[in-house]
Amino acid sequence: MIPEPALRPAASRGPGLELCHRSRLYLDDGDLVLRTRTRTRRFPTGDGGITRAVFLDVPGDDKERMGPTIEASWGEVQLQDHDGALIGSFNMEDWLPESPAIPKRWVKGEQLLDRTGVAALFKAAGIPVHVVTDRNDPLVASGSRSRGAKSLSPGGEFPRWYWSLRAVAFVVWFALFTVILFFETTEPWVILLLAATALVGPVARLVVRAWTRLRLRECVPVVRERIRPAPVEGMGTTVRFCRDTELRVQDRDLVLRVLGGREYWLPLTGPHALTSLVLVRDRTGQPLGVELRGPHDQVRAVLLWRLWFGGRGGADGWSRLRRTAGLTASERKLAGKAPWPKALGALGTDLLPDSAGTARKLSRFPSTNVGLSSTALMAFGSYFSIGQGLWIEDVHPQAAMAAILAGAVGLVLQAVPYAAHQLRSRLWLERPASEQKPTEQPV
């Protein structure tokens, strides 16, 4: 069993969901230990190893791409030796479970160190933490002092074999595409190899889906309780929402699963664990929701009462959550017309998508960081294979047929999963869920 404090990775879904189950950063026998989906690495502390940590509390720049912008880092932690040379580093949001759901830099400084568990982990390791807010600070390792530094990231959302396979296939395909474009060759082996490499992307995408399912079957945490939403009438919940959304009380974590299968793992053990459940009422005494709080009364997540506990069976869900989570339960009443929750970006405030289209987008199998350009390139590659096959049909009919078939298969492998997702969503998952009247009160 992994000792606490142990850092949990940022919430993920699809292939990245395995990271939530497996990846941890923790202390064992005086070493910092990084466990990812494929291996475990140890970093000695003290003399000859890590002697200090520098938290560079400075945001980076956003990265543009086709599709949504990749947001910049929330800050970086550098692990250095006695001479200030960089041994390893990681981005803070990689080890903050709720980072995908809250506004960038919404939590920072000492609060971010506490919330992630970094402060508790380094305290247990005897590693002093220095917080700096200037990239030019003398404590920040750069240049020659950072050579050979290791990343202490929990791992990428997609496995390395997938990236390697796609990268090799693209390099070969682009080389052949250039040859065909500039030299107008009709050599059948060139056309066939081009069509084969164009087919790698669509096939690899299906393989990684199957690989994800098989890997996740091996991850079977002990679940003490499952709490499903009990929405009241008028919330606009759908079949998809009620199917995907749940709270799981596990042995060591409270897991919030949301639309599309993304999971947020919040610790129930260790110095950075959740500490209390606070039922919030308005000034008339009506329940508004529940705050999940951690150390120093930081609100880690909120559960809207009308969504989770207001309908039929909701009171039972609230009772089971209090009983199995092992957290201190209390109540507080808002004074005057104070809004709740104050932090509109808190985890749990926007579980319901604003439209059916948004729900379909969020629940699709996740795309790579390349975004739309990856899908566009795969589609173009398949069309180009068909075009080249038609071009050589008169002189090399067998090679032409193989190229056309490979291109058609590539298009089918891309279109069928997308069409199936759209049809299943529109015909079933986007139907309104059976909503309930608010007949129950918290006990």
* 443: pLDDT strictly greater than 50: no
Q: Name the amino acid, one letter, at 141.
A: A
Q: In the 3-class helix/strand/coil scheme, how is the chain assigned residue by residue?
A: CCCCCEECCCCECHHHHHHHHHCEEEEECCEEEEECCCCEEEEEECCCCECEEEEECCCCCCECCCCCCECCCCCEEEEECCCCCEEEEEEHHHHCCCCCCCCCCCCCHHHHHHHHCHHHHHHHHCCCEEEECCCCCCCCCCHHHHCCCEECCCCCCCCHHHHHHHHHHHHHHHHHHHHHHHHCCCCHHHHHHHHHHHHHHHHHHHHHHHHHHHHHHCCCCCEEEEECCCCECCCCCEHHHHHHCEEEEECCEEEEECHHHCEEEEECCCCCCCCEEEEEECCCCCEEEEEEECHHHCEEEEEEHHHHCCCCCHHHHHHHHHHHHCCEEEEEECCCCCCCCCCCCCCCCCCCCCCHHHHHHHHCCCCCCCCHHHHHHHHHHHHHHHHHHHHCCCCCHHHHHHHHHHHHHHHHHHHHHHHHHHHHHHHHHCCECCCECCCCCCC
pLDDT value of position 103: 84
The pair of structure tokens assigned to 58 is 């400075």
Decide: 2 and 25 in contact? Cβ < 8 Å. Answer: no
Mean pLDDT of 424-437: 81
Mean pLDDT of 369-382: 79
What are the pLDDT digits (tens) for 239-284?
Answer: 999 999 999 999 999 999 999 899 999 999 999 999 999 999 998 8
* 285: pLDDT strictly greater than 70: yes
Length of the chain: 443
CA dihedral 136, 138, 142, 145 (to 10 degrees): 170
What are the pLDDT digits (tens) for 333-347?
Answer: 998 777 888 766 689
The larger pLDDT score, comparing residue 372 to residue 27, is at 27
pLDDT value of position 64: 53
* 184: pLDDT strictly greater than 90: no
The pair of structure tokens assigned to 397 is 């009919």
Number of Cβ within 10 Å of residue 22's Cβ equals: 18
Phi, psi for 164 (deg, rounded to 5): -65, -45
Q: What angle do CA 387, 393, 395 make, to 5 degrees?
A: 130
- What percent of the chain has a predicted confidence (pLDDT) above 90? 71
Strand pairing partners for 329? 277
* 94: pLDDT strictly greater than 80: yes
What whole-number distance in Å separates Cα of residue 81 and Cα of residue 46? 8
What whole-number distance in Å separates Cα of residue 435 and Cα of residue 232? 6
Residue carrying structure tokens 């064992």: 28
What whole-number distance in Å separates Cα of residue 359 and Cα of residue 365? 12
* 434: pLDDT strictly greater than 80: no
The larger pLDDT score, comparing residue 322 to residue 65, is at 322
Q: What is the pairing mode between strands 31-35 and 24-28?
A: antiparallel
How is the beta sheet containing 40-44 ordered, strand by strand?
6-7, 24-28, 31-35, 40-44
pLDDT value of position 442: 46
Mean pLDDT of 313-331: 95
* 370: pLDDT strictly greater than 80: no
What whole-number distance in Å separates Cα of residue 179 and Cα of residue 207? 29
Lowest-pLDDT range, 1-10, 55-64, 387-396? Answer: 55-64
Decide: 56 and 34 in contact? Cβ < 8 Å. Answer: no
* 439: pLDDT strictly greater than 50: no
What whole-number distance in Å separates Cα of residue 312 and Cα of residue 99? 32
What are the pLDDT digits (tens) for 223-236?
Answer: 999 999 999 988 88
Label residue 440 by pLDDT band (50, 70, 90). Answer: very low
pLDDT value of position 168: 95
Q: Name the amino acid, one letter, at 415.
A: A
Mean pLDDT of 31-44: 95
Q: In the 3-class helix/strand/coil scheme, how is 83-94 assigned residue by residue?
A: CCCEEEEEEHHH
What whole-number distance in Å separates Cα of residue 86 and Cα of residue 396? 58
Mean pLDDT of 187-209: 95
What are the pLDDT digits (tens) for 103-147?
Answer: 887 888 899 999 999 999 999 999 999 999 998 889 998 765 556
Mean pLDDT of 184-190: 91
